[in-house]
Structure 1
Amino acid sequence: MKPVLRFLSDEDLKNVHSMALDMLENMGMQLCSEEAREILKKEGAKVEGEIVKISRELIDRALETVPKRDEFVLYGRTPENDVKISEAPPTLAAMTMATAVIDPDTRERRPATNEDLAKLTKILETLDNVTIASGLVTPQDVPLQASDWYTWATTIKNTTKHITGGVVGKEGVRDAVRMASLAVGSEEEFLKRPFISVWVLTMPPMKVDENTLNVLMEASKYKIPSVISSGGILGISSPITIESAIIHTHAETLACIALSQMVNPGAPVIYSSYVRSMDMKTLSVAMSSPESAIMKSCMAELGLYLDLPTKMPCNLRDSKVLDAQTGFETGMVGTIGALTTDFLVAMQLDMDLVVDYADLPYSNECMSQLQRLVRELDFNDKRIALDNIEKTGHGGSFLDSKHTVRYFRKELWRGELTERGNYGSWKEDGEKDIAQKSLEKVRKIIDETKDVELLDKEIQAKIDAIAESAIEKSKNIVR
């Protein structure tokens, strides 16, 4: 069987879900969009000003139509990058919106550029354990009001994998669709296999702003997956106790799922959550604290309780550089994520603010180990091979047995960056630590991919034109 980690019992899951339903029915959600309120009102919700009280029956109806895990496919731009959720091992999803990078040459921290975004996306394209190659950074050298559009343009041009990103309002969704459609030939072709998804971020506690609701409604019309996430902070925008925080976080997600299904039954969603803790001494958000790790598991368990695909921020480390703290946080939170969720949002440091180029191959190799860790055991006759034990006999060696030859490559994990040799061979190879090896690896990838073009120049120019047109257009969009 596949190993399982759980913080919530079956009874806990049932009770949390029930309390969240009570909260929606009695307290309600503040929805800052008249259109969203009217849609839910027509379906039977009670509207009191901006507060919408959503019944259990309405939530149940929504959960009947939302696509479940066994039917959910996360599309890549090309079919070889598709992910069938029910069959796939946990994989990495690039986080978005960091504003700085650690330069691969100078090793200095500096503002991220559009060129950085292109290079990082090309690197993600090469990494075998990354299935969502989102824009890791928001370029700081483009017009601020159109930065989301430039991020979409650059990522779409430089990867054939799935992309998740932030958008501004309905127009932002439409323009992302226009760019993605250019990459596959037409909007008709894109809608057959939508290879983008959008962030839908609530404003805890129990509120969603107008821009976010517009994004959710527009994405649902196109049946573009919405990654629904509530990012409360313990003691600030969420109650201080984990048990209480996960209830309203689950309620906010349910409300957004309900709206998506009332707009368009069958609109796909991915269950996510960024509820996390804060260091009360420094007032810094902690993405990799023990409490944050526990809540990532709890929320993933609630997503699985609803039989939905899940995506949790399990490799966003608080460490400022690729060091021992990074390793521990990757190991602790990453292991929890690998055991509980489908996509581990990853590859940022310093509370999601910075991307170290070297972290990309490092995180990719860590994910490979985690995939081996959670692989299901299979006690079939060929793997057990009792005759092999009998043939080898008492005190014998299995080193030269046919069974060993047949299975050792699949059974024993071996990485490219991880050091497994003896001290002497390590010293002869230059005494490099894993950060140095990762940096050398990423520099090699940058060199090998610098001239790679995944789309014709003419198509790229049309995508860029959409981003450039957003500079003026974005001034009139509700944010």
Structure 2
Amino acid sequence: MRNTYCATPSNMGIGINLMGDMDKNHMHDAILEILGTVGVKFESNDALEILAGHGVKVCKDSKVARFPGYIVEDAIAAAPGHFYLYGKSPEYDRLLGDGRVNWIPFGCGIKTKDLETGEIRNTTKQDIADNARITEALPEYDVCMQTVVAQDVPSHVEELHSFTAHAYNTNKNVTVGPMGKRSAETLVKIAAT
């Protein structure tokens, strides 16, 4: 099994360090500044209400939340150093964090080259299913993530179609971003079946 030593951070093999500690600290400080001044736009009024209840500065008109640095720092300190994604079977369980690198395909392409005709065309739900099967077959990928957008389904429920296309075509963990509370609840129901 690939992840036999997944719980142990390792420096074995060839590595590359693109950023020193000072660079990381500067980036962290810049991110805190952006979160505190520019903020993040949230479409969900429920999310804005929850954030405001925890001390985040919320502008209801613009739907922008500005995070004071201490709130971000407290959240980072409270977050676990690692956690598991549990797969459909134990062989697909993956540890995230603690310096461990996991590999995942990603994207959200809107065009693809049709393998049968050579035509450049809009991506479909079937393309998502096909890509999930490719990810399933490649042991180098730890988790399956959406690589294209299904443009043959209604956009307001695309993430539901994406998740089902993935879930029915791979046993690996699947990541998808729900577009709100109702969508998240529906995704949980789909995952439980």
TM-score for both structures, normalised by structure 2: 0.74
Task: Verify the 8 A CA contact 1:28 1:54 in the aligned structure 2.
Answer: no
Q: Give deviations 1:271-319, integer Å, cap 9, x for gaps.
A: xxxxxxxxxxxxxxxxxxxxxxxxxxxxxxxxxxxxxxxxxxxxxxxxx
- Give the match for residue 109 of structure 2: 98
Provide the rounded CA distance (Å) in 2 between the counterparts of 1:64 and 1:99.
Answer: 38
**Which residue does 1:29 correspond to in 2?**
39
RMSD: 2.9
Separation (CA, whole Å) in 2 of partners of 1:177 and 1:104? 33
Greater relative contact order (CA < 8 Å, ≥ 6 in sequence): 1
When Rg is computed on C-alpha atoms for both structures, the one with the higher figure is: 1
Task: Indicate the residue corresponding to 1:173 in structure 2.
Answer: 184
Cα drift, residue 180 of structure 1: 0.5
Per the TM alignment, residue 158 of structure 1 is displaced from its structure 2 partner at its CA by 1.1
Return the offset for 1:163.
Answer: 0.9
Pairs aligned (count)? 179
Residue segments in structure 1 that go unaligned for 5+ positions in a row: 183-479
Q: Which residue of 1 aligns with 2:147?
A: 136
Q: What is the aligned counterpart of 1:54 among 61, 67, 73?
A: 67
Q: What is the DSSP-based 3-state SS (H/G/I as helix, E as strand, rest coil) of the residue aligned with 1:6?
A: coil
2:80 to 64, 67, 85: 67
Which structure carries more helix by proportion? 1
Q: CA deviation at 1:176?
A: 1.0
What is the Cα deviation at residue 96 of structure 1? 4.4
Distance in 2 between residues matched to 1:81 and 1:42, nearest whole Å: 37
Contact 2:123 2:151 in 1 (8 A): yes
Distance in 1 of aligned mates of 2:50 and 2:172: 34
The SS at the match of 1:130 is coil
Post-superposition offset of 1:64: 1.8
Q: What CA distance in whole angstroms lies between the structure 2 residues aligned with 1:23 and 1:114?
A: 36
| Runs of 5+ unmatched residues, structure 2 | 1-10
Which moves more between the two structures, 49-58 or 127-136? 49-58
Mark the CA change 1:158 to 1:28 in structure 2 (over 3 Å): closer, same or farther.
same
Tell me, in whole angstroms, the C-alpha distance in 2 between the residues paired with 1:29 and 1:106.
Answer: 45
Aligned amino acid, residue 67 of structure 2:
I
What are the residue-to-residue correspondences of 1:449-460 with 2, within 5 Å? none
Deviations 1:35-86 (A, max 9, x none): 4343333333444555544333222221122122xx3212222211111235
Give CA-to-partner distance per residue, 1:83-135, whole Å, 9 cap, x none.
12358964431224323332333333233333333233222211111122223
Is contact 2:84–2:96 with CA below 8 Å preserved after alignment?
A: yes
CA distance in 2, matches of 1:29, 1:131: 32
